[in-house]
Chains A and B, each alone.
Chain A
Amino acid sequence: MTPIRKVLVANRGEIAIRICRTLRTMEIPSVVVYSGADRGAPHVRAGDEAVLLGPAAPAESYLHVERILAAARATGADAVHPGYGFLAENAAFARACAAQGITFIGPSPESMERLGSKSAARLAAARLGVPVVPGVEDVPDAARARQEATRIGYPVLLKAASGGGGRGMRRVASDEEMEAAFESGRREAEGAFGDGRLLVEKLVHPARHVEVQILGDGRSAIALGERECSLQRRYQKLVEESPSIAVTKAIRTKLEKAAVTLACDAGYAGAGTVEFLLGPDGDVYFLEVNTRLQVEHPVTEARFGIDLVRAQIEIARGGPLPKRPEPRGHAIEVRLNAEDPYRGFIPQSGPITLLAWPAAEGLRIDAGIVEGHPVHAHYDSLLAKLIAHGRDRAEARDRLVAGLQGLALLGIRTNQGFLIDLLETEDFAAGETYTHTIEAHAWPAPDEIPDEALLAAALASEAPRAAEASGGRRDADRYSPWRLLGAWGRA
């Protein structure tokens, strides 16, 4: 057994808070780290100790390996949990931890390298008889990409060989589009991952994105069902659910078997996710492996009643794999993002002037924000995740919609209303969810405001005059506990 006595959480936002929560239940002291921009951020208060890493830029803080390791040494942390993003899939970081005798809570650098690179993982999958989307791994230039695309058949997808999140990804429908798409895709991949290599793949259409949660201990692995994450914009997931309405028992068996085979082959220890495309004819194609905890892991937790962060820590200690619990009901998660869905999902930043969370049965909220603290443009636009669990899909959806309707957030624009619209579409109710669904629809901004909202706005915006008249400050009313209407009705 490897002892874990104190864990440094090398992340920020909701995931850092969520990891600290499990550490507290396990009675393991936690250390959080933060950048200059995150002074006073809610995750800083989530740990037992907090260490300032450096300036706001990720390269100077959350991606700065030496500073994070120095923080671990200074606080006596003997393990690091990387969360997702930042250093979570960085094999060099995992090696640097090991070199200092610090346990990296995640897979070994070797299995990270074997499965983390899309090209390497595709080769491994093909070798193990796991179907992959027809394509070519390393395409040097646009001319070669055109050749391969013609052979595979248009439309095709260009993807970055390393990394994910849709960066570097381009849909190409014809020879004519290839040159420009290839060059811009390569630039974006180079900028995002420092690796401009692209691969060409057949575009499966219409496709669902289905992924399998795995836990491995280096020798064996278990699968915890699937999550469907088809609803995406700009190749970033917005809605995730489990089970998938399109996954039959036979498909699930096939998916789980493929995921476990890949994990065992790589000697995988820890939590991971194996992503697949599900084609219109029920065919599944391996996409990639995420060698870390996923943003959407609470969907699996809700349905299986398991704590995946605890499982990660116990595996890192050398403990046994948990027994696979029986899944129950249906879980759906939405990502609340600081973005304007009606203007191309542009990220928004600024102070949150008001925040009130809903309380509802079967609703879990993992949030990284508090009222009064700003959302910074330096970091991810994810503010919080709302996860609803119900006896069936309809109940989970109703609870999620009710949760979103009960949430009030002012100061920055978010996708809250858009998520309600999305969950209320007939397509969603019918389970007609595909990777292109969001982009194929027009999502007009609301063109009417309910009269009660206007009445409330009129009331509140008229009120400060009374405050002024009585010598108060214009914005003072925001902080006064009770303001009866009579006070300004006289104005």
Chain B
Amino acid sequence: MSRRVAFRWNGRSLEGSLAIQGRRAQWTREGRTLDATVAREGAWVEVVMSEGTARCAVNAGSREVWVSCRGRTYVLERAHRTAAGPAAEASTDEIRAPMTGRVVRVDARPGARVAEGDLLLTIEAMKMEFRLTAPEDGQVDEVHCADGDQVELGQVLVRLTPASAAAPGGGAS
């Protein structure tokens, strides 16, 4: 039995199908098929292929899946969160301060529709400016900071409702 798996990465979608039988796994994507023997130990997935063995570390969160393979780390977004977990988890996006700093300017307005990549606000720390942008299309629900505010690391600055979660039962699949 095979299952379709979809991620978003660097703004594009990556889809493939995964078939499992015992420890044998088959991954098919874009016409290529990878046959491997796999074993899992905690966060580690060992992938034994004909051309060698890769040991990958994986942390699968409800939104993102982090994979480290041969010294490179990939952050994948789950493309179908509503299908993959309880709907409550996908209800809002919280934009948190990536570091302690000062809010230079707030562009997000409550109620405004935003597209992925739209500038929400700009923070300054250590004399460098950081632009916080919308992670996906949606609507700004709440704005919790103003120009000139001092903000702490991890503080929620803006809440968004993603377009994908706005319609009740609106799973992407």
Interface string of A406-433 (1 = CB under 8 A from B): 1111110110110010000000000000
Question: B66's contact among A404, A411, A458, A480, by CB below 8 Å, is which?
Answer: A411
Residues A441-491 near B (CB distance < 8 A): 445-447, 449-465, 468, 474-475, 477-486, 489
Partner of B65, one of A56, A167, A461, A483: A461
* Candidate in A408, A468, A489 with the most chain B CB atoms within 10 angstroms: A408
The answer to whether B127 and A192 have CB atoms under 8 Å apart is yes
Report if A481-B27 is in contact (Cβ < 8 Å); known contacts: A417-B71, A461-B5.
Answer: no
Q: Which of the segments B38-46, B104-112, B140-148, B158-166 contacts the partner chain?
A: B38-46
Q: How far is the CA of A348 from the CA of B155 in the complex (A)?
A: 15
**Is the CB of B21 closer than 8 A to any CB of chain A?**
yes
Q: Does B58 contact A (CB under 8 A)?
A: yes
Contact among B36, B76, B126, B153 with A457 in the assembled complex (CB-CB below 8 Å): B76
Interface residue A349 (Cβ < 8 Å from any Cβ of B): yes
A180 in the interface (beta carbon within 8 A) = no
Q: Tell me which residues across on chain A come within 8 A of B71, comparing CB atoms.
A: 404-407, 416-417, 420
CA distance A377 to B99 in the complex (A): 5
Asked if A92 is at the interface of the complex by the 8 Å CB criterion, the answer is no
Q: Which among B62, B100, B101 has the highest number of chain A CB atoms within 10 Å?
A: B100
Counting CB contacts under 8 A, is A127 at the interface? no
Alpha-carbon separation in the docked complex, A446 to B128 (Å): 25
B47 touching A452, Cβ below 8 Å: yes
CA distance A413 to B74 in the complex (A): 9
Residues of B within 8 A of A459 (CB): 18, 20, 25, 38, 40, 45, 58
How extensive is the interface on chain A, given as a class?
35 or more
Contacting A at CB under 8 A, from B110-135, are 125-128, 130
Q: How far is the CB of B42 from chain A (nearest CB, A)?
A: 6
Q: Counting CB contacts under 8 A, is B13 at the interface?
A: no
B29–A451 touching, CB < 8 Å: yes
On whether the beta carbons of A453 and B153 are closer than 8 Å, the reply is no
Q: Tell me the bound Cα distance from A489 to B65 in angstroms.
A: 19
CB–CB A485/B18 < 8 A: no
Given the interface contacts A462-B3, A474-B85, A489-B20, does A453 sit within 8 Å of B25 by beta carbon?
no
Chain B positions within 8 Å of A408 at CB level: 57, 68, 73
Enumerate chain A residues within 8 angstroms of B36, measured Cβ to Cβ: 452, 455
Residues of chain B within 8 A (CB-CB) of A359 are: none
A347 on interface, CB distance cutoff 8 Å: yes
Contact B69 A354 (CB under 8 A): no
Given A474-B62, A485-B40: A453 and B100 interface contact (C-beta under 8 Å): no
Kindly name the residue among A349, A449, A463, A478 whose own CB sees the greatest number of chain B CB atoms within 10 A: A449
Least CB separation from A187: chain B residue: B127
Q: Is the CB of A456 within 8 A of B98?
A: no
Check B60 against A452 for contact (C-beta < 8 Å).
Answer: no
Q: Which of A347, A478, A484 lies in contact with B99, CB distance below 8 A?
A: A347
Name, among B38, B41, B49, B68, the residue most crowded by chain A CB atoms within 10 Å (CB to CB). Answer: B68
Query: Which one, A417, A475, A483, contacts B72 given CB within 8 A?
Result: A417
User: Which one of A356, A454, A461, A486 lies within 8 Å of B78 (CB-CB)?
Assistant: A461
With A458-B16, A459-B38 as known contacts, state yes or no: A376 contacts B67, CB within 8 Å.
Answer: no
Q: How far is the CA of A248 from the CA of B20 in the complex (A)?
A: 60
In the complex the two chains form, is B74's CB within 8 Å of A457's CB? yes
Q: In this assembly, does A98 line the interface, its C-beta being within 8 Å of a C-beta of chain B?
A: no
Q: How far is the CB of B94 from chain A (nearest CB, A)?
A: 13
Also in contact, A461 and B84, with CB within 8 A (given A451-B27, A455-B18): yes
Given contacts A404-B71, A462-B5, A489-B22, contact A455 B98 (CB under 8 A): no
Given contacts A413-B75, A452-B49, contact A478 B59 (CB under 8 A): yes
Known: A453-B69, A460-B60. A482 touches B41 (CB 8 A): yes
- What chain A residues lie within 8 Å of B7 (beta carbons)? 454, 457
User: Which of A192, A353, A420, A453 contacts B59 (CB under 8 A)?
Assistant: A353
Closest to B35 in A: A455
CB distance from B62 to the nearest CB of A (A): 7
A195 at the interface (CB under 8 A from B): no
Known pairs A348-B98, A489-B21, A489-B22; A354 contacts B127 (CB<8 A): no
**Contact with B56, one of A56, A447, A453 (Cβ below 8 angstroms):** A453
B124 to chain A, nearest CB (A): 10
Q: Choose among A413, A468, A474 the residue that contacts B73 (Cβ–Cβ < 8 A).
A: A413
Q: Known A-B contacts: A354-B68, A416-B71, A454-B14. Give 20 more (CB < 8 A).
A: A188-B127, A376-B153, A377-B153, A409-B68, A410-B59, A410-B73, A413-B75, A450-B69, A451-B29, A454-B7, A457-B7, A457-B58, A457-B60, A458-B18, A461-B78, A461-B84, A468-B85, A482-B40, A485-B20, A485-B40
Residue numbers of B with Cβ under 8 A of A are: 3, 5, 7, 9-10, 14, 16, 18, 20-23, 25, 27, 29, 32, 34, 36, 38-43, 45, 47, 49, 54, 56-62, 65-76, 78, 84-85, 98-101, 125-128, 130, 153
